Structure formats: structure tokens, C-alpha cells
Amino acid sequence: MTTIRSVAEEAGVSIASVSRVINGLAARGDTEERVWKAIKALDYQPNSAARALKVRRSEQICLSFDDLANPAYTMMTRGVGQALSASEYRLVLASAFSSVEEIIKHLKTMGRGFADGLIISPIYGDVRITKLLSNLQIPVVVIGTLPEGINADNVWVDSSAGVEAAIVHLKHVGRKKIAFLNGPLSTNPGRRRLAAFHNALASNNLQSLSENVFQADAFSPDSAYQTISSSKNLSTFDSIICANDQLAAGLMKYCSQNQIEIPSDLAVIGIDNTDLSSLLRPTLTTIDLHAEERGALAAQLMLQRLADPTRPIQKIVVEPTLVIRESTEEK
């Protein structure tokens, strides 16, 4: 193994000089030159564990969320990864595959100092998670709604405004009987989007028809398909907003199999603007929540906080964008 000692020997200087050269501190020209030469010759790489132990920084940032299967999180991961790739920090992934217990396990190990910061998108409102987060000794950036009592940098998107815009749009293209296909109510997005739906109906003077909420038990196409298949009142509505594109895709599959024409029989709107939305037939009108951008913003917040721990807490609000495609064209 090639350590800082071997380099020092090779270059004929002390280890202190090698360390200084590496960390860009003052050194005489020829010393510097010899050190770099030795480093190249031996292909020396500072040991990150020793360095971390000494400087108390791991140069790693942990990204934690609930389910990598959800494309929205994939997009976020890309944003974070891209923003971090230019920095000195590595990205450690801690996806929990939809289990609160796993997230808690992860959070507990965060005290070990293997990460300098945590970016987390906590979709379950579990109090244990909140408690662990608030006890954390490293900076936290939350993507999504900030849990009660947590004071952290935050990237937030007003999904309610997106749902509102969707309903305004539906009204504008002449739809009045609007339904909502929701994901699990055990999640923050599920609860928030449903509430937004009801509020938006009211604020637009639209009737809230009975049984206008279809409740899927996961944010997945299959779950949407099951839910819709087993409920018999879809034909009551002329339009439906889905809590994400995956749900919309599952719904559209059901429609195409049951001779329900989109958009003539039923207008459909999704959320997230995933790749899916422009590839489905018809193409899907959707609320872009800018997941990738939010990931990048969260990473930037983290880098800034790491660079200056004293700066005031920041909250960045991202505005949703309604992307209009074929699935809501006028009849």
C-alpha cells in the first residue's frame, strides 16, 4: 500500500510537506515539484478513512427516500447526482423500498459520521422519523413538506397549485364532472393532493360528486388498474386527475381495454411529467413538479450549508407547471 510516508520518502521530504502540497498550502517550488512527481510515480491516493477521521468529514452526502421504483425519485436522484458530480462529495444512496422501518434503521446509522449531510424526502409522516431527524448532528435538507418541528433547509413544491391549475384547465375545456385517482393516504403526497383536489373543486364552484375519489394503495400502474377495475362508477365522470403519471398510465390501460375513449369520454391528467407522459397514447396532460430540478436544488442547498454552516435556513419553493397534451383536448 502506498501511503503518505512512501511519497515523502520517494520525494525526499517530510510527510508534512507532502500533506501541505496536496492540500495546497505554501511550499517552495522545487519541493512542490518533487512531491507531485513522487505522487504520480507511486500513483498515490490519500486514504479517505484516515482523512475522514482526522478532518471529521466523510465527503459523502446521503440521499434517502422511500422507493426507488417511483420514477419521480429516479428523476430526483439524477438531479442530486448531477449537482454533486461537480463537487467533492460522493452520493450515498439509502433507498428504503417502501418500509418505514428501513428508513428508521438508516437514520439511526447516520450518527456514525459516514455522511456529512442528509437529503431526505420523507413521505410518511411518522413521528419517529421526525424525532430522529431533529436529533441528527449533520445538516439535513428536506425535499417535500417539512415535518412539524423540524428546522432544516427545504425544497418545496406547491402541488396544490398544480392540482388547482389542472382543475382550472379541465373547466376551461368544458369538463365539469371531475374525479380524483389518489395514491396511499398514508403518504404526505397522497394526503396533500387529495386535500388540494377538494379545495380546488370548491374554489372553482364545481360540484363535488359522490364517490369522486378512487383510492389506490400504491403509486403504481397496477394498483390504479386494480382500483379502477373493481369500482363501477368511472362512467359518472368526464375527467379525472391522477396523483401521479403511473396511476394515470394504469387507468389509461384500463380505458383502452374497456372502450373508454380518451379524451372524448374521459379527460385524464397526471402528475410528475415523467417520460411516460409524452410516450403514452394519447399523450398525457400532466402537472410537472420538476423532480429533477428539486433534486439539484436540494443538493445545492446542501453544498451551500456545508460550505457555510451559519447561513440562515433557506426554503426554496418550486412552482408546478401544467403541461398540456392530448389527454385533455376538447371534445
Partner DNA sequence: TTGTACGCGTTATCAG
Partner DNA sequence: CTGATAACGCGTACAA
| Residue 196 binds which of a second copy, DNA, none (CB < 5-8 A, kind-dependent) | none
Between CA 288 and CA 291 the distance in angstroms is 8
Of the candidates 81, 107, 111, which has an alpha carbon nearest to the alpha carbon of residue 94?
107
Residue 302 sits in the site that holds a second copy (CB under 8 A): no
**Are the C-beta atoms of 248 and 270 separated by less than 8 Å?**
yes
Binding to a second copy, residues 233-292 (CB under 8 A): 246, 249-250, 252-253, 256, 275-276, 278-281
Residue 58 sits in the site that holds DNA (CB under 7 A): no
**Are the C-beta atoms of 194 and 182 separated by less than 8 Å?**
yes
Distances (CA, A) of 316 to 83, 141, 297: 16, 11, 8
Binding to a second copy, residues 49-88 (CB under 8 A): 49-50, 52-53, 58, 60, 68-69, 71, 74, 77-78, 81-82, 85
DSSP state of 113: S
10/66 with CB nearer DNA = 10
Binding mask 15-44 for a second copy (x = CB under 8 A): ----------------------------x-
Task: Provide the minimum distance between the beta carbon of 94 and a second copy in the complex, in angstroms, as a whole number.
Answer: 7
Task: Provide the minimum distance between the beta carbon of 111 and a second copy in the complex, in angstroms, as a whole number.
Answer: 4
- Reading phi first (left if > 0) and then psi (alpha if -120 to 50, else beta), residue 330 is in beta
Between CA 54 and CA 41 the distance in angstroms is 26
In the three-class reduction of DSSP (H, G, I as helix; E, B as strand; rest coil), residue 210 is classed as: coil
| Residue 60 binds which of DNA, a second copy, none (CB < 5-8 A, kind-dependent) | a second copy
DSSP state of 260: -
Task: Provide the minimum distance between the beta carbon of 104 and DNA in the complex, in angstroms, as a whole number.
Answer: 21
Task: Provide the minimum distance between the beta carbon of 287 and a second copy in the complex, in angstroms, as a whole number.
Answer: 19
Is residue 84 packed enough to be buried (19+ CB in 10 Å), middle (13-18) or exposed (0-12)? Answer: buried
- Alpha carbon distance, N-terminus to C-terminus of the chain: 72
Is residue 1 packed enough to be buried (19+ CB in 10 Å), middle (13-18) or exposed (0-12)? Answer: exposed
Binding residue for DNA, selected from 36, 51, 74, 136, defined by CB under 7 A: 51
Binding residue for DNA, selected from 41, 55, 93, 313, defined by CB under 7 A: 55
Residue 90 sits in the site that holds DNA (CB under 7 A): no
Three cell numbers written together for 48: 479517505
In the three-class reduction of DSSP (H, G, I as helix; E, B as strand; rest coil), residue 112 is classed as: helix
- Which positions touch a second copy (CB under 8 A)? 43, 45-50, 52-53, 58, 60, 68-69, 71, 74, 77-78, 81-82, 85, 90-97, 102, 108-109, 111-114, 221, 246, 249-250, 252-253, 256, 275-276, 278-281
- Which positions touch DNA (CB under 7 A)? 1, 3-5, 13-17, 19-20, 22-23, 26-28, 30-31, 44-47, 50-51, 53-55
